[in-house]
Chain A
Amino acid sequence: DIQMTQSPSTLSASVGDRVTITCRASQTIYRWLAWYQQKPGKAPKLLIYKASSLESGVPSRFSGSGSGTEFNLTISSLQPDDFATYYCQQYNSFSTFGGGTKVDIK
């Protein structure tokens, strides 16, 4: 099974900050990686797929990068609506999610 490790598990930031979340796979997943945003009590929302493709309707301040085993999600200028938990997901072999990164207010 492919394991996904996210870091950090919690990130404190301010509005306007540039934020980067890292996701590492236990073996190569090429570019088969997605990122989701989840707010309390809500379903996850797809942000990025195939490592760097922006889902329709997602603001351009979100971007994804990486390949192989290391990937990043970057928010270029954090907005109030972006305080949430973010999950990476590999879909090279079935599906595995990372443990999540909570972005909270500094």
Chain B
Amino acid sequence: QVQLVESGGGVVQPGTSRRLSCVASGFTFSTYAMHWVRQAPGKGLEWVALISNDGSNKYYADSVKGRISISRDNSKNTLSLHMNSLRLEDTAVYYCARDKVIINPSYYFDYWGQGALVTVSS
């Protein structure tokens, strides 16, 4: 069965960096675009970033552009999110999510990880 398992969450200080990882299993990772979606405590969902199946295309929400980088290693079935210059408003549960459509990203998501909480606090 499809599984997505995030790691790397924790408490960080403003202005610092953090890397989240998501290990995928149960499907051919290299054939799906992948996304990060976040949810601030008690708030709604916000799409953060997309990476195409082969890693050649990356897109970001305006709120994180320039501070966040998405990457993937298809040989290790791993998706990553590198977050720099973290702000208080980046505090959220970060979910990795699989695009529903094989190869061509559709921007909606059929499988989600359990989430990794990043708390930005001084």
Contact = CB atoms under 8 A, between A and B. Distances in A.
A95 B48 CA distance: 9
B44 A97 contact: yes
A95 B113 contact: no
B60 to A, nearest CB: 9
Contacts of A94: 47, 50, 59, 61, 107
Contacts of B62: 1
Report, as a range, how many residues of chain B touch the other chain: 20 to 34
Interface string B85-121: 0000000000100001000001111101111000000
B110 A43 contact: no
A41 to B, nearest CB: 9
A49 B100 contact: yes
A96 B62 CA distance: 12
A95 B108 CA distance: 8
Contacts, number: 47
B122 to A, nearest CB: 26
Contacts of A99: 44
A89 B46 CA distance: 10
A45 to B, nearest CB: 8
B44 A100 contact: yes
Contacts of A38: 45
Interface residues on A, range: 20 to 34
Interface in A19-61: 34, 36, 38, 42-46, 49, 55
Nearest to B61: A94
Contacts of A49: 100, 108
A98 B44 contact: yes
A94 B45 CA distance: 14
Given A36-B45, A44-B45, A46-B100, 9 more contacts: A34-B108, A43-B95, A44-B109, A44-B112, A46-B108, A49-B108, A94-B50, A96-B47, A99-B44
- Which 4 residue pairs of A and B lie closest in terms of their CB atoms, listed nearest first? A43-B112, A91-B107, A95-B47, A97-B45
Interface of A: 1, 34, 36, 38, 42-46, 49, 55, 87, 89, 91, 94-100
